[in-house]
Amino acid sequence: MEFPGATTARDDARYLVVGAPLDRSASGRPGARYGPEAVRAAGRHFEDYDRDSDRTFSDCGVADHGSVGSPGSIGDRGEYGAYLESVIGEAVRDGLVPCVIGGEHSVSPPVVRAVDPSVVVVFDAHLDLRESYAGDPYSHATATRRMLQVADRAVVLGARAGAASEYDRAASDDVTLVAPEAVPDWTPDLAGERVYVSLDIDVADPSVAPATGTPEPFGLRPRVLRDAIRRVAPHAAGVDVVEVTDRDQGQTATLAAKLLRTFVYAHADATAD
Amino acid sequence: MEFPGATTARDDARYLVVGAPLDRSASGRPGARYGPEAVRAAGRHFEDYDRDSDRTFSDCGVADHGSVGSPGSIGDRGEYGAYLESVIGEAVRDGLVPCVIGGEHSVSPPVVRAVDPSVVVVFDAHLDLRESYAGDPYSHATATRRMLQVADRAVVLGARAGAASEYDRAASDDVTLVAPEAVPDWTPDLAGERVYVSLDIDVADPSVAPATGTPEPFGLRPRVLRDAIRRVAPHAAGVDVVEVTDRDQGQTATLAAKLLRTFVYAHADATAD
Amino acid sequence: MEFPGATTARDDARYLVVGAPLDRSASGRPGARYGPEAVRAAGRHFEDYDRDSDRTFSDCGVADHGSVGSPGSIGDRGEYGAYLESVIGEAVRDGLVPCVIGGEHSVSPPVVRAVDPSVVVVFDAHLDLRESYAGDPYSHATATRRMLQVADRAVVLGARAGAASEYDRAASDDVTLVAPEAVPDWTPDLAGERVYVSLDIDVADPSVAPATGTPEPFGLRPRVLRDAIRRVAPHAAGVDVVEVTDRDQGQTATLAAKLLRTFVYAHADATAD
Amino acid sequence: MEFPGATTARDDARYLVVGAPLDRSASGRPGARYGPEAVRAAGRHFEDYDRDSDRTFSDCGVADHGSVGSPGSIGDRGEYGAYLESVIGEAVRDGLVPCVIGGEHSVSPPVVRAVDPSVVVVFDAHLDLRESYAGDPYSHATATRRMLQVADRAVVLGARAGAASEYDRAASDDVTLVAPEAVPDWTPDLAGERVYVSLDIDVADPSVAPATGTPEPFGLRPRVLRDAIRRVAPHAAGVDVVEVTDRDQGQTATLAAKLLRTFVYAHADATAD
Amino acid sequence: MEFPGATTARDDARYLVVGAPLDRSASGRPGARYGPEAVRAAGRHFEDYDRDSDRTFSDCGVADHGSVGSPGSIGDRGEYGAYLESVIGEAVRDGLVPCVIGGEHSVSPPVVRAVDPSVVVVFDAHLDLRESYAGDPYSHATATRRMLQVADRAVVLGARAGAASEYDRAASDDVTLVAPEAVPDWTPDLAGERVYVSLDIDVADPSVAPATGTPEPFGLRPRVLRDAIRRVAPHAAGVDVVEVTDRDQGQTATLAAKLLRTFVYAHADATAD
Amino acid sequence: MEFPGATTARDDARYLVVGAPLDRSASGRPGARYGPEAVRAAGRHFEDYDRDSDRTFSDCGVADHGSVGSPGSIGDRGEYGAYLESVIGEAVRDGLVPCVIGGEHSVSPPVVRAVDPSVVVVFDAHLDLRESYAGDPYSHATATRRMLQVADRAVVLGARAGAASEYDRAASDDVTLVAPEAVPDWTPDLAGERVYVSLDIDVADPSVAPATGTPEPFGLRPRVLRDAIRRVAPHAAGVDVVEVTDRDQGQTATLAAKLLRTFVYAHADATAD
Ligand SMILES: [Mn+2]
Ligand SMILES: [Mn+2]
Ligand SMILES: [Mn+2]
Ligand SMILES: [Mn+2]
Ligand SMILES: [Mn+2]
Ligand SMILES: [Mn+2]
Ligand SMILES: [Mn+2]
Ligand SMILES: [Mn+2]
Ligand SMILES: [Mn+2]
Ligand SMILES: [Mn+2]
Ligand SMILES: [Mn+2]
Ligand SMILES: [Mn+2]
Average pLDDT of chain D is: 96
Pairing verdict, β A236-242 and A97-102 = parallel
How many C-F residue pairs are in contact by the CB < 8 A criterion?
56
Average pLDDT for residues E79-95, to the nearest whole number? 97
Q: Which residues of F touch D162 (CB under 8 A)?
A: 47, 49, 51
Q: Kindly report the number of other CB atoms within 10 A of residue E30's CB atom.
A: 28
Strands, sheet with B15-20, edge to edge from the N-terminal-most edge strand: B62-67, B15-20, B97-102, B236-242, B195-200, B119-123, B153-157, B175-178
Average pLDDT for residues A150-173, to the nearest whole number? 98
> What is d(CA B217, CA B26) in angstroms, rounded to the nearest whole number?
18
Tally the residues of chain D. Answer: 273
Q: Which residues of A touch B162 (CB under 8 A)?
A: 47, 49, 51
Strands (E), chain B: 15-20, 49-50, 55-56, 62-67, 97-102, 119-123, 153-157, 175-178, 195-200, 236-242
Least reliable range by pLDDT among C69-78, D163-172, D244-253, E160-169: C69-78
Q: How many domains does chain F have?
A: 1
pLDDT of residue B191: 94
Task: For chain B, state the CA radius of gyration.
Answer: 17
What is the distance in A from the centroid of ligand 6 to the CA of C124?
5
What DSSP state is assigned to residue E134? T
**Considering only CB atoms, which residues of chain E are within 8 Å of chain B?**
27-29, 126, 160-164, 167, 181, 205-207, 210-211, 213-218, 247-248
| Residues around ligand 1, an ion, CB closer than 5 A | A 105, 124, 128, 200
Give, in degrees to the nearest 5, the angle at Cα E48 between A126 and A217: 50
Taking an 8 Å cut-off on Cβ atoms, the answer to whether D23 and E30 are in contact is yes
Domain carrying residue A210: 10-270
Say yes or no to pLDDT of A76 above 80: no
> What is d(CA C93, CA B248) in angstroms, rounded to the nearest whole number?
46
> What is d(CA C246, CA B28) in angstroms, rounded to the nearest whole number?
13
**Considering only CB atoms, which residues of chain A are within 8 Å of chain B?**
44-49, 51, 54, 56, 205, 207-208, 222-223, 226, 248-251, 254-255, 258-259
Q: Kindly report the number of other CB atoms within 10 A of residue C181's CB atom.
A: 13
Taking an 8 Å cut-off on Cβ atoms, the answer to whether E215 and B251 are in contact is yes
Long-range contacts of A164-168 (CB under 8 A, 24+ apart): A164/E49, A164/E54, A164/E56, A165/A130, A166/A127, A166/A128, A166/A129, A166/A130, A167/A127, A167/E49, A167/E51
> What is d(CA A153, CA A164) in angstroms, rounded to the nearest whole number?
20
Least reliable range by pLDDT among A158-172, A220-234, C123-137: C123-137
State the DSSP H helix or E strand holding residue D55, giving kind and residue range, or none if neither: strand D55-56
pLDDT of residue D35: 97
Say yes or no to pLDDT of F114 above 90: yes
**Considering only CB atoms, which residues of chain B are within 8 Å of chain D?**
1, 37, 41, 44-45, 67, 70-72
Say yes or no to pLDDT of A40 above 80: yes
What is the distance in A from the centroid of ligand 10 to the CA of F37?
29
pLDDT of residue F121: 98
Least reliable range by pLDDT among C22-31, C58-67, F48-57: C22-31
What is the distance in A from the centroid of ligand 2 to the CA of C248?
29
What is the distance in A from the centroid of ligand 3 to the CA of B263?
19
| Domain CATH code at residue B38 | 3.40.800.10
In C, minimum Cα distance to B32 occurs at C30
> What is d(CA E242, CA D222) in angstroms, rounded to the nearest whole number?
40
Q: Give domain status of residue F28, yes or no.
A: yes
Taking an 8 Å cut-off on Cβ atoms, the answer to whether C1 and A37 are in contact is yes
What b/e string do you get for F213-229 counting C-beta neighbours within 10 Å, with b at 16 or more?
bbbbbbbbbbbbbbbbb
**Considering only CB atoms, which residues of chain B are within 8 Å of chain E?**
44-49, 51, 54, 56, 205, 207-208, 222-223, 226, 248-251, 254-255, 258-259
How many A-B residue pairs are in contact by the CB < 8 A criterion?
55
> What is d(CA B34, CA B49) in angstroms, rounded to the nearest whole number?
27
Mutate one of A44, A53, A207, A223 to test the B interface: name it (highest B CB count within 10 A). A223
| Residues around ligand 5, an ion, CB closer than 5 A | C 105, 124, 128, 200
- In 3D, which of C56, C81, C59, C58 has the Cα closest to residue C68? C81
> What counts of helices (H) and strands (E) characterise chain D?
7, 10
Q: Give domain status of residue A76, yes or no.
A: yes
> What is d(CA A128, CA A163) in angstroms, rounded to the nearest whole number?
9
pLDDT of residue B196: 98
In F, minimum Cα distance to E19 occurs at F1
Q: Give domain status of residue F3, yes or no.
A: no
Q: Kindly report the number of other CB atoms within 10 A of residue A184's CB atom.
A: 12
pLDDT of residue E4: 92
Q: Is the peptide bond before D103 cis (omega within 30 degrees of 0)?
A: yes
Contact yes or no, A with D (3+ CB pairs under 8 Å): no
State the DSSP H helix or E strand holding residue F199, giving kind and residue range, or none if neither: strand F195-200
**Bridge partners of residue A94, in order along the sequence:** none
Contact D55, D269 (CB under 8 A): yes
Kindly report the nearest CA distance between residue C33 and chain A, in angstroms.
Answer: 12
Say yes or no to pLDDT of B25 above 80: no
Query: Under DSSP, is residue D263 helix (H, G, I), strand (E, B) or coil?
Result: helix
What is the distance in A from the centroid of ligand 6 to the CA of C214?
6
Pairing verdict, β C153-157 and C119-123 = parallel
pLDDT of residue A25: 73
pLDDT of residue D39: 98
Pairing verdict, β F62-67 and F97-102 = unpaired
> What is d(CA C222, CA C219) in angstroms, rounded to the nearest whole number?
10
Q: Which residues of B touch C28 (CB under 8 A)?
A: 72
Torsion of CA F210, F212, F214, F215, to 10 degrees: -20
> What is d(CA A266, CA E203) in angstroms, rounded to the nearest whole number?
38
> What is d(CA F75, CA F62) in angstroms, rounded to the nearest whole number?
29
φ, ψ at E41 (rounded to 5°) = -65, -35
Q: Give domain status of residue C2, yes or no.
A: no
**Considering only CB atoms, which residues of chain D are within 8 Å of chain E?**
23-24, 26-31, 33, 72-76, 79, 133-136
Taking an 8 Å cut-off on Cβ atoms, the answer to whether F255 and D217 are in contact is yes
Of B44, B54, B222, the CB nearest to E205: B222
pLDDT of residue C6: 97
pLDDT of residue A257: 98
C202 is in an annotated binding site: yes
A200 is in an annotated binding site: yes
**Considering only CB atoms, which residues of chain F are within 8 Å of chain C?**
27-29, 126, 160-164, 167, 181, 205-207, 210-211, 213-218, 247-248
Q: Give domain status of residue A120, yes or no.
A: yes
In A, minimum Cα distance to F136 occurs at A75
Task: For chain F, state the CA radius of gyration.
Answer: 17
Of B45, B249, B255, the CB nearest to E214: B45
Q: Give domain status of residue F5, yes or no.
A: no
- In 3D, which of A25, A23, A26, A52 has the Cα closest to residue A36? A23
Of E163, E211, E217, the CB nearest to B47: E163
Torsion of CA A112, A116, A119, A125, to 10 degrees: 0
**Bridge partners of residue A16, in order along the sequence:** A63, A98
pLDDT of residue D5: 95
Q: Give domain status of residue F1, yes or no.
A: no
What is the distance in A from the centroid of ligand 9 to the CA of B207?
24
Task: Name the pLDDT band for F75 (thresholds 50, 70, 90).
Answer: confident
Taking an 8 Å cut-off on Cβ atoms, the answer to whether F45 and E1 are in contact is no
Q: Give domain status of residue D3, yes or no.
A: no
> What is d(CA C199, CA C238) in angstroms, rounded to the nearest whole number?
11
> What is d(CA E247, CA D247) in angstroms, rounded to the nearest whole number?
9
Average pLDDT for residues B67-75, to the nearest whole number? 85
Mutate one of B39, B44, B45 to test the E interface: name it (highest E CB count within 10 A). B45
pLDDT of residue A74: 78
pLDDT of residue E74: 78
How many D-E residue pairs are in contact by the CB < 8 A criterion?
41
Task: Name the pLDDT band for E130 (thresholds 50, 70, 90).
Answer: very high
Would you list the DSSP string of C11-64? GG-SEEEEEE---S--SS---GGGHHHHHHHHGGGS-SEETTTTEEGGGS-EEE
Average pLDDT for residues D234-245, to the nearest whole number? 98
Task: Name the pLDDT band for C135 (thresholds 50, 70, 90).
Answer: confident
pLDDT of residue C73: 77
Residue-wise pLDDT for E230-247, tens only, equals: 999 999 999 999 999 999
A94 is in an annotated binding site: no
Of B26, B33, B73, the CB nearest to C72: B26
The ligand whose atoms approach the alpha carbon of E128 most closely is: 9
Contact E99, E16 (CB under 8 A): yes
Contact F206, C255 (CB under 8 A): yes
What b/e string do you get for E177-212 counting C-beta neighbours within 10 Å, with b at 16 or more?
bbebeebeebebebeebbbbbbbbbbbbbbbbbbbb
**Bridge partners of residue A246, in order along the sequence:** none
Distance of CA C13 to the CA centre of its chain: 20
D227 is in an annotated binding site: no
Contact yes or no, F with B (3+ CB pairs under 8 Å): no
- In 3D, which of A147, A164, A249, A152 has the Cα closest to residue A199? A147
Of E162, E207, E211, the CB nearest to B49: E162
Taking an 8 Å cut-off on Cβ atoms, the answer to whether B247 and A249 are in contact is yes
> What is d(CA D41, CA D184) in angstroms, rounded to the nearest whole number?
29
pLDDT of residue D143: 97
Task: Name the pLDDT band for B73 (thresholds 50, 70, 90).
Answer: confident
- In 3D, which of C243, C193, C20, C233 has the Cα closest to residue C111? C20
Task: Name the pLDDT band for C48 (thresholds 50, 70, 90).
Answer: very high
> What is d(CA B206, CA A205) in angstroms, rounded to the nearest whole number?
13
> What is d(CA F14, CA F61) in angstroms, rounded to the nearest whole number?
5
> What is d(CA D131, CA D146) in angstroms, rounded to the nearest whole number?
8
Say yes or no to pLDDT of E71 above 90: no
Q: Distances from the Cα of F164 to the Cαs of C259, E104, E228, F129, F160, in angstroms?
A: 20, 56, 63, 10, 12
Average pLDDT of chain A is: 96
ipTM for the whole complex:
0.97
pLDDT of residue E271: 94
Contact C46, C258 (CB under 8 A): yes
Residue-wise pLDDT for C187-243, tens only, equals: 999 999 999 999 999 999 999 999 999 999 999 999 999 999 999 999 999 999 999
What burial class does residue B246 get, using C-beta atoms within 10 Å of its C-beta: 0-12 exposed, 13-18 middle, 19+ buried?
buried
